[in-house]
Structure 1
Amino acid sequence: MSEDDLIALFAPRLPVTDAEVLGSGDDAAVVSVDGDLVVSTDMAVQDHDFRMEWSTGADVGWRVAMQNLADIDAMGAVPTALEVALAMPRDTEVEWVLSFADGLREACEPHGVGVVGGDLSGAAQIVVAVTALGETHGTDPVTRADAAPGDVIAVAGPLGAAAAGLAQLEQGTRVAPAAIDLFLRPQPRIGAGLEAALHGATAMMDLSDGLARDGARIARASEVRLAVESALVPVHEAASFTAQTMGVDALAWALGGGEDHHMVACFPRESAVPAGWVIVGVVEDGSGLTVDGAAPTVSGWDHFA
């Protein structure tokens, strides 16, 4: 199938957005913006970020969409549109591409986000690059750099499920299918970042690489120490069950697993933390991140480790 024929086949499956002035089909898309424009880019590479034997095309589409929506949400902004570039071998099944488009739509439509363009290319393996666009509606974006001593640290959802799902896939077991589902299709609470911004969050990011690594990034940007208490960290029940079955520590997955994509944020006081968020520690003078007063024993995800 030619490139133009393939585009004509999958383009009608893609989601649309009210912010779209001109969508795919021209040299560039045109999107209206209210407030500041927020932009983020992420990539997913076959056999590094996903495996074909584990994932359907729809799973990959969902996953790349959701991790990019979370990046926009982590700035306290509202995601509006994605640009998706897809490179793949010429013998890739057309049905996989259509399934990929379906996954994008399933992830984006509930949030009013459209896919407004992108690119196709040939490659030795499948590579997806997504650029996400969002808008602030006049509010100030929340960065990693303004946490202050005395702030409280909170997370927007239970952690460790994605890591537990990955562990099962690697071992060929299915002791907790819910964790596998959350690895293949993360379910961050999109909108929690905007909620945190409206409640006065001082610093925030999404947990793509684990609380230990991502929290340390906030600490470095804000020049403070994030002191986490392990007893307060919410561990997903599917991660706890998987860990019990495998004889491992679920807390290690919650701290270092990553890919849950829930928000971690700092707030100026406990009363500012929105309902549904869980306080996991405090911000102190110093540097880095500690767990129960010591350096964490897990490091989180690193693409080059």
Structure 2
Amino acid sequence: MAARTIADEGEFGLIAAVTSGLTMPDAVTVGPGDDCAVFAPTGQVVVSTDALYEDVHFRKAWSGPHDVGRKAVGSALADVEAMGATPLGVVVALSAPPETPTDWVLEFTKGVREECELAGAALVGGDTTRGPAIGVVVTVFGDLQGRTPLLRSGARPGDVVAYVGRLGMAAAGLAVLGRGFRSPGAVVRAHRVPEVPYGQGRVASQAGATSLIDCSDGPLADLGHVARASGVAIDLDSGSLDVDEAQKTVAAAIGGGDPLNYILTGGDDHALLGTFAGSDVPQGWTVIGRVLPLGPDAEASVTVDGKVWSGDAGGWRHF
């Protein structure tokens, strides 16, 4: 007997299956099922949108539907954390071909719900539509709860640079998968699902962070945004960057490159990168550099051990 597809379910049957059994926190007064969700935050609201598309952000051959659901939500909610806000609500729009198995969508939904639960956010709505390939658009909301938003423009000379989360593991996983391998397992899992350090945006805010950013494109690229927005220079200490054994294994196996390149330029881990005044760095964060004043006629930049990094600059451009 052929597996049921989303065409068999129909739009409203699929929505009913996706939203079945959802519970809402007290802050959400109207959940899925009406024209809009309604929530009552205690402070200013932050909002962001991320899109993931098949064969651009993920491949079915590499990632299962549960992985895609978690990654879609986690990569979006990392931006809420980067503002120093508390995750509140998530809206997911799914585009898929009619022949997509219903089981794929249900497993995807399990991943969405699991990541929402990890973050303390509620799935409050969304949409489904026909499309030539699977596409996911996630809109996320966060509550600042009276705190001041953490911006990229707040870094000041004399601050230290620190991070929490993991760096460069997803990039090593992408390198492995791109060559047809499935090990080391740690880096492959990191590519499939990020480990967002939920709650640490709030911790950074309470510790007095001067700036904060989600590390989606690697420290060189993302701290470059901070440097330009703040009008400063940033220098990273390579000796403070711990290289995982799995990253060393991958680098050695695919050509003997410097595994630091994964850490400095690799994205999709969604660690948090922040700047702090002196001793204000929270417990569990690792100091990896410092903020410097710009010299005469100098441009905002990020260096490693006082020099321009000789490897890949990192970052990703869709166009």
Partners of 2:177 and 2:23 lie apart in 1 by: 30
For residues 128-180 of structure 1, the C-alpha deviation after alignment (integer angstroms, 9 at most, x for no partner) is 11110000110101110010000000111331110111111111113310111
User: Which residue of the partner structure matches residue 65 of structure 2?
Assistant: 57
Q: Give 1:104's aligned residue.
A: 112
TM-score (norm 2): 0.92
Structure 1 residue 5 displacement after superposition: 0.9
2:264 to 255, 263, 280: 255
Q: Which amino acid aligns with 1:258?
A: G
Counterpart for residue 234 of structure 1: 242
1:218 corresponds to: 226
Counterpart contact for 2:69–2:110, Cα < 8 Å: yes
CA distance in 2 between counterparts of 1:274 and 1:60 reads: 31
CA contact (8 A) 2:165 2:195 kept: no
Equivalent in 294, 298, 303 of residue 290 of structure 1? 303
8 Å contact kept, 1:16–1:113: no
Q: Is the 8 A contact 1:147 1:202 kept in 2?
A: yes
Distance change >3 Å, CA 235–CA 34, structure 1 → 2: farther
CA distance in 1, matches of 2:165, 2:268: 12
The whole-number CA distance in structure 2 between the counterparts of 1:48 and 1:33 is 34
* 2:91 alignment partner, SS class: strand
Paired position in structure 2 for 1:142? 150
SS of residue in 1 equivalent to 2:154: coil
Residue 274 of structure 1, CA deviation: 1.0
Identical-pair percentage: 41
Query: Corresponding residue for 2:210?
Result: 202
Amino acid at match of 1:262: A
Judge which range, 135-144 or 287-296, deviates more: 287-296
Q: Which residue of 2 aligns with 1:304?
A: 318
SS of 2:20's equivalent in the other structure is helix
Which AA in structure 2 matches 1:298? D
Match of 1:41 in 2: 49
Asked if 1 retains the 8 angstrom alpha-carbon contact of 2:46 and 2:80, the reply is yes
| In 1: Cα distance, 2:239 partner to 2:149 partner | 31
- The 1:237–1:71 alpha-carbon spacing in structure 2 relative to 1, beyond 3 Å, is farther
> In structure 1, which of residues 108, 123, 131 is the aligned counterpart of residue 131 of structure 2?
123
The residue type paired with residue 263 of structure 1 is: L
By how many angstroms is 1:13 displaced? 5.7
* Runs of 4+ with deviation above 6 angstroms: none
TM-score where L is the length of structure 1: 0.96
Aligned to 1:145, what secondary structure does the other structure show? helix
Q: Distance in 1 between matches of 2:41 and 2:166?
A: 33
Given residue 59 of structure 1, which amino acid in structure 2 is its aligned partner? D
Aligned residues: 304
Cα distance in 2 for partners of 1:153, 1:53 equals 37
1:189: Cα distance to partner?
A: 1.3
Change (3 A) 1:141 1:248: same
Is the CA contact 2:194–2:268 (under 8 Å) kept in the aligned structure 1?
Answer: yes
Instruction: Give the Cα–Cα distance (whole angstroms) in 2 for the partners of residues 76 and 23 of structure 1.
Output: 25
| Aligned partners of 1:159 and 1:234 also within 8 Å | no
Counterpart code for 2:267: G
- Which deviations, in whole Å up to 9, do the C-alpha atoms of 1:8-34 show, x marking residues without a partner? 112116564332110111111101111
Shift of 1:184: 0.4
